A and B are shown apart, each in its own frame.
Chain A
Amino acid sequence: MAALSEEVLLVVKRVRQRKQDGTLYLMTERIAWGPEGKDRFTVSHLYADIRCQKISPDGKAKIQLQLVLHTGESTTFHFANESTALKDRDAAKDLLQQLLPKFKKKANKELEEKNRMLQEDPVLFQLYKDLVVSQVISAEEFWASRLKLNSVDHALSNNNKQEVGISAAFLADIRPQTDGCNGLKYNLTSDIIESIFRTYPAVKQKYAENVPHNLTEKEFWTRFFQSHYFHRDRINTGQQDIFSECAKQDEKGLKSMVVQGVKNPMVDLMSLEDKTLDEGYGSLTALPNSSKTVKENSNSAIIKRFNHHSAMVLAAGLRKVEASSDQASETSSTDGNSRDSDFFQPPIKKVKLQEAIEYEDLQNESGPKTIALNLKKSDRYSHGPVPLQSHHYSTSQDIINSVSCIQEEISCYKPCLTRVMSSSAASSAITALSPGGVLMQAGAQQTISQLVSTDVQSELKHLYTAAGELLRHFWSCFPVNTPFLEEKVVKMQSNLERFQSTKLHPFQEKIQREYLSTNLTNHVEEMIQAAYNKFHAWQTRRMLRKT
């Protein structure tokens, strides 16, 4: 039953769990449910164990709340009170929403780190299993050398997180949906709200002024979408619209942007005018009328609006988060141009001009100075790795004799293809080439990898990895300078002995039982023996020094 010290925050009656009626209690540290009429709680979860909660969608008949735990289990509560089910469920959900974040498991970062490392690297995982699970070395020793490497990397990466910019289409993402009967439904998420506030500080100001004392949030946003501020044609109808001021501020901002112009001397906006070949194919020198038609006027309004919006989005992206508190200087926050003016101080300007004029590729090559290779006896390379063999030296008489002999023979050469070979020669050749014959001996020996089964091979590989790890720790202790290293050496020695007895010997017995004649573990034994010898030598030297 609930401990007396627990304070009950909320009680909800008529809550069914697993088709049983009961009561739901929300307390300061846990949520519990007991069936009707009984004193005990059959279901009780600490808030710290709950990962998240889920609710059934609004349209469904059954009003439910589901709790998902860190372990993956979930518990579902069905609110069965006819009249107040929805209210009860929402009350419970809200309370949980407030309480859960407080108890969120301050996940032990290190533990997470270790788990992640073990999951990512199967070799490491196997090593862990071999060494720590079978208690050859303790877990701290295992992690001692490894964790240091990773924590440094993570600290660096966390500090340099980039800020997320604003999508220029955030207003379009709102995507109004028709409600069926002449209404429009706008879905606003907190991301979109944040984007609106970052881009249009005027709207944020209005929000701060009016909500929550004048308008509720819902009403504010309804007015926002209804106002012509939001819609395409910002024709000021003169209505009492809280957003008409925003429209005026925007106009002001836009004008100031235009006045400021572009500070970057490398960019010339004036040359971007549309130059069309009017009547006369450019031969007319008179400038065309600069009066705008009505159509151009309405177009210019929407174009102005787009430009303003883009400028605001860019400015919001460039502005640092801290500077948003400075809302007094409207002009400096409306354009990202102000940064450019800082950038174009004379020395930087000079460098930029230089960069724009010169091309590296077209200049003379001034590569690093190299030293020429100076080979004295380069004919050595052309001999290649062919050792000088003893030639038979034939006398010139021999040569003459051989050549004339051959010439005689071939001068009367006629191919006689029916008598190339005797059958006995052929059959002895076939015997030599058949499996088991003289020429086929080398292939008869199977490689060890064919003789030994794959699981024995993989076990041997694991043994090697584990032995390698232990030996690495052992040998890194030498030369033994500090008392810490002395202790470590002794510990590693005992670790090695333990490894040998718990892992190596059973493996050897196992392969002996399988009648494998090959000595698979000789090398590992040798390595361990070398470590033992070194240890004993070090120990005797230490004794001698002490005495």
Chain B
Amino acid sequence: MASEDEISLLVIVVDVNPIWWGQHAQREPEFTLSKCLDAVMVMANSHLVMTRSNKLAIIASHCQESHFLYPSKHWKAGDVTGDDASSGSGDGKYELLSVANDLIAEEIRNLMARTQVKGHQTDTLLAGSLAKALCYIHRISKELDAGQDMKSRILVVKAAEDCALQYMNFMNVIFAAQKQNVLIDACVLDSDSGLLQQACDITGGLYLRIPQKTALVQYLLWVFLPDADQRSQLVLPPPVHVDYRAACFCHRNLIEIGYVCSVCLSIFCNFSPICTTCETAFKIPLPQMMKPKKKKLKAAN
């Protein structure tokens, strides 16, 4: 059993890119953003219920901002007004959960209501959301009492595709997470994401691309609910093979063997006598000429 002192913080980063979800809703109407949010909420409730000392945060990753759905700045812990009508179904649920659920719903409604359409911003700001998650984890770990341990992990529920422009930020976040011993898990709904695969590999988390979106909550509870210590006792999907090949600077093809400039470390797929990045000139020594020798032997014979 977990000791009383150990706190487990789960930060769920949900990809709520309205453009992708809107397009997806037209393709597959049975799994909508609402259902996805429901699944995430079940997962969040389960996490809070597992141990009294578990903590939770949910971040919505939008294409214009990253917003904390839970905990909210406007809400204080003791702020439960005796307003039964608005506190959900009144089914005797643990108050923390019902309050949390209501809060999340309200926040996502507000977030979507204030979305403005901007043509050039269509990518999910995932790197920024992860950075915010790391900052939150850092803040909470500073607020602990002396003698309390905290284990944290980030669960990313990803829908849209990778954005190549965020590569550097993403890698920085991953290495920062690795240094902070924060696991990054990834549950991918649609297309494989190389960046998240790398993130999971480097930080020691789990990467899963689910075949059935309607059973999202089952996958979340089965694979991502147990924390790192418990995972070693369970039989979970094996790690994916990550493609770490570099891409050449000239064509951006993934290559296995290439040429590297020794001055600026840029990678090329073909040899060129001048490095196009730093303009250093290179010479490759040619193999020795064999022909004159043979001629001599022939002449001797």
A residues apposed to B, CB below 8 Å: 373-378, 380-389, 391, 394, 396, 398-407, 409-411, 413-417, 420-422, 425-426, 428-430, 432-433, 435, 438-440, 442-443, 545
How many B residues face the partner with a CB closer than 8 A? Answer: 71
Given the complex, which residues of B lie within 8 Å of A428, measured CB to CB? 212, 215
Determine whether the beta carbon of B167 is less than 8 Å from that of A413: no
Q: Which residues of B contact A387 (CB under 8 A)?
A: 247, 252-254
B101 touches A383 (CB 8 A): no
Q: What are the nearest 4 A-B pairs in CB distance? A: A402-B22, A443-B238, A429-B215, A384-B167
Contacts beyond the supplied A376-B278, A386-B164, A400-B117: 11 A-B pairs with Cβ under 8 Å: A375-B264, A381-B266, A386-B167, A387-B253, A394-B122, A402-B20, A406-B22, A417-B45, A420-B38, A420-B42, A429-B212
B217 adjacent to A421 (CB under 8 Å): yes
Residues of A within 8 Å of B254, CB to CB, are 385, 387
Please state if B218 and A405 are interface contacts (CB–CB under 8 Å).
Answer: no
Give Cα A443 to B37, complex, Å: 31
Q: Please, which residues of chain B bring their CB within 8 A of the CB of A405?
A: 22, 25-26
Residues of A within 8 A of B216 (CB): 421
Docked complex Cα distance between A21 and B200 (Å): 85
B218 touches A394 (CB 8 A): no
| Contact residue among A402, A415, A438 (Cβ-Cβ distance under 8 Å from B104) | A415
Least CB separation from B121: chain A residue = A399
Residues of chain B lying within 8 A (CB to CB) of residue A374: 278-279
Q: Which residues of B contact A425 (CB under 8 A)?
A: 212, 214-215, 218
The answer to whether the Cβ of B18 comes within 8 Å of any Cβ in the partner chain is yes
> Known interface pairs A421-B39, A429-B212. Does A398 touch B278 (Cβ–Cβ under 8 Å)?
no
Nearest-Cβ distance from residue B244 to partner chain A, whole angstroms: 8
B interface majority secondary structure: helix
In whole angstroms, how far apart are the Cα atoms of A413 and B60 in the complex?
15
A selection of 23 A-B contacts at a CB cut-off of 8 Å is A374-B279, A376-B276, A377-B277, A378-B277, A380-B277, A385-B246, A386-B195, A388-B164, A398-B19, A399-B122, A402-B18, A402-B25, A403-B22, A403-B115, A407-B113, A409-B25, A411-B112, A411-B113, A417-B38, A421-B216, A426-B218, A440-B237, A442-B237
Contact among A373, A406, A422 for B263, CB-based, below 8 A? A373
Are B104 and A421 in contact (CB-based, < 8 A)? no
A382-B167, A388-B164 known; A429-B219 Cβ under 8 A = yes
Number of A-B contacts (CB under 8 A): 173
A415 in contact with B211 (CB, 8 Å): no
List A contacts of B217 (CB < 8 A): 420-421
Report which of B119, B210, B215 forms a contact with A396, defined as CB distance below 8 A.
B119
Compute how far the CA of A439 lies from the CA of B35 in the bound complex, rounded to whole angstroms. 23
Nearest CB on B from A379, distance (A)? 10
**Residue among B22, B34, B101, B108 with most chain A CB within 10 A:** B22
Assembled-state Cα–Cα distance A382/B92 (Å): 53
Complex interface: chain B residues within 8 A of A382 (CB)? 167-168
Chain B residues closer than 8 Å to A380, beta-carbon distance: 249, 266, 277
Cβ of B162 under 8 Å from chain A: yes
Contact with A along B12-42 (1 / 0, CB 8 A): 0000001111110110000011110111011
What residues on B are CB-neighbors of A399 within 8 Å?
19, 117, 119, 122
- Residue from B18, B37, B45, B194 in contact with A413 in the complex, judged by beta carbons closer than 8 Å: B37
Expressed in whole angstroms, the minimum distance between the Cβ of A74 and any Cβ of chain B is 58
Q: Mark B109-133, 1 if CB is under 8 A from A, else 0.
A: 1001101010100100000000000
CB of B235 closer than 8 Å to a CB of A: yes
Contact status B23-A394, CB under 8 Å: yes
Which residues of chain A have C-beta atoms less than 8 A from B246's C-beta?
385
Structural contact, A430 and B235, CB atoms closer than 8 A: no
Give Cα A373 to B218, complex, Å: 53
> Smallest CB–CB gap between A504 and chain B, Å?
31
Q: Which residue of B lies closest to A388 (CB)?
A: B252
Q: Which residues of A contact B277 (CB under 8 A)?
A: 375-378, 380
Q: Which residues from chain A contact B237 at a C-beta distance below 8 Å?
A: 433, 439-440, 442-443
Contacts of A442 in B (CB 8 A): 237-238, 240-241
Contacts of B167 in A (CB 8 A): 382-384, 386
Least Cβ–Cβ distance between A369 and chain B, in angstroms: 16
B33 touches A406 (CB 8 A): yes
B167 to chain A, nearest CB (A): 4
**Which of B243-295 touch A at CB < 8 Å?**
244-247, 249, 252-254, 263-264, 266, 276-279
Give the shortest distance, in Å, between B261 (CB) and chain A (any CB).
11
Q: Is B136 an interface residue (CB 8 A)?
A: no
Q: Are B38 and A435 in contact (CB under 8 A)?
A: no
- From A384, A398, A404, B23 is in contact (CB under 8 Å) with A398
B156 lies within 8 A of chain A by Cβ: no
Known: A373-B264, A386-B247, A438-B211. A410 touches B222 (CB 8 A): no
In contact, A410 and B214 (Cβ under 8 angstroms): no
- Taking the nearest CB of chain A, how far is it from the CB of B179, in angstroms? 19
- B161 CB → nearest A CB, Å: 7
Contact B208 A422 (CB under 8 A): no
Residue of B nearest to A407 (CB): B112
| B171 interfacial contact with A, CB 8 Å | yes
Please tell me which one of the listed residues A384, A401, A430 contacts residue B22 in the complex, with CB atoms under 8 A apart. A401
Question: Are the C-beta atoms of B211 and A439 separated by less than 8 Å?
Answer: yes
The distance in angstroms between the C-alpha atoms of A404 and B112, with both chains bound, is 9
Query: Shortest Cβ distance from B187 into chain A, in angstroms?
Result: 12
When distances are taken between beta carbons in the complex, the residues of chain A under 8 Å from B247 are 383-387
Chain B residue contacts of A430, Cβ below 8 A: 218, 222
Provide the residues of chain B in CB contact with A410, threshold 8 Å: 33-34, 108-109, 112-113
A383 touches B38 (CB 8 A): no
- In the assembled complex, the Cα of A105 lies from the Cα of B132 at a distance in Å of 78
